[in-house]
Amino acid sequence: MPASRRQRAVRRTACLLLVTAALAGCGDDGRLRGAGATPTAISPARLWPELTPASSPAFDLGEVDTEVIEGVTVPGGDIRAVDPVAVVRAEIAAHPDDYEGDAAPFRETARRMADCAGGPRTAEPGARQGEDGCPVLEPYYRDLTGDGREELTLGFRLLPEKLTAVRVYTAGRNRLTRIMAYDDALSGVELARRSVIIRSPSEVAGYEYRLQWTWDPDQRAMLLTHDEMLRTHTSARPGSSASPRPPDPASASPASPEPSVSPEPSRSSAPSVSPESRDLSSARSSQSPAVAR
């Protein structure tokens, strides 16, 4: 082969190698490139700036409503040694206007406590706890304060109103302290790290309320950190009467030790609010008489 032809062949081979290297990514010079048009950022618009900021809350939400349970002790500091039925009896005794007498809103609860001789009713497949017999529900135990000791999460039916009371108690200095209380019509209750999540039916088809109570070490109580209205997973259409589907059962096991959990996230890592969510704390406090304030 003549020298000139050999030189041309070498040059063609070198060019092919360069093109191959470029196609393999070696030709990226690393410069910034435009990603296309992006929406213009819009800052929050402050309404009525001339209004004087409020100095006190309009509604008492009971965020820091703790109470030592009189007449109930914690033998050896072991909260599992506390009788849940005795705890409910102590609450009834402390609030007679709610439970005693024919005009009391939860009079049937007090009357049916006589059916609790054998203790709280355990869950049975296909049965609804508290509908008949003892109104005290099966207790759950989990460390909700992060101190390495279990708290008692207790529920009992408020009858004849068909509501459910949810309470959380902690043990300390041989005494029992209530650190959270809430009454409502429930569609589900969950425990998640340091929080109690309560789901309640909404008047709006296809939506439900979700309230999250989270332990606050500064206040030594569980605070209402989220009050949201969320879309459910039902296919209910506007105007239908379908009720929200209950959520999955809580991961906690009744009356059994809890498995260890991963380190607690910061307060800012609480469940995020979906686009449909709204802060309904003030609205619900004036609309729902069932809320324990």
CB atoms within 10 A of CB 82: 20
Do residues 286 and 175 touch, judged by C-beta distance below 8 A? no
Q: Closest Cα partner for 159 from 111, 87, 96?
A: 111
What is the model's pLDDT at position 142?
95
Find the mean pLDDT for residues 276-287: 41
Q: Tokens 């200095």 sit at which residue?
A: 173
Q: Where are the domains of the chain?
A: 67-120+128-258+273-287
Answer whether residue 245 shows pLDDT above 60. no
Share of the chain above pLDDT 90, in %: 45
What is the model's pLDDT at position 25?
54
Do residues 181 and 196 touch, judged by C-beta distance below 8 A? no
DSSP 104: -
Query: How many Å apart are CA 99 and CA 105, to the nearest integer?
Result: 7
Q: Which of 114-118, 128-132, 211-215, 276-280 has the highest mean pLDDT?
A: 211-215
Find the mean pLDDT for residues 168-188: 92
Answer whether residue 186 shows pLDDT above 60. yes
DSSP 22: I
What is the model's pLDDT at position 254?
53
What is the model's pLDDT at position 284?
46
Query: How many Å apart are CA 162 and CA 113, to the nearest integer?
Result: 15
Find the mean pLDDT for residues 247-267: 43
Token code pair at residue 139: 């207790």
What is the model's pLDDT at position 281?
40
What is the model's pLDDT at position 57?
78
- Which residues have a Cβ under 8 Å from the Cβ of 291 and sit 6 or more positions away? 182, 183, 184, 284, 285
Strand, helix or coil for residue 25: helix
Identify the band that residue 255 occupies on the pLDDT scale cut at 50, 70 and 90: low
Check the CA dihedral 76-79-81-85 and report its sign. Answer: positive
Answer whether residue 3 shows pLDDT above 70. no
Q: Report pLDDT digits (tens) over 6-59.
A: 666 666 666 666 656 555 555 566 788 888 888 888 888 889 989 888 888 777
Q: Tokens 């879309």 sit at which residue?
A: 231
What is the model's pLDDT at position 117?
83
- Give Rg (Cα) of the chain: 30
pTM confidence score? 0.65
Find the mean pLDDT for residues 148-159: 94
What is the model's pLDDT at position 214?
94
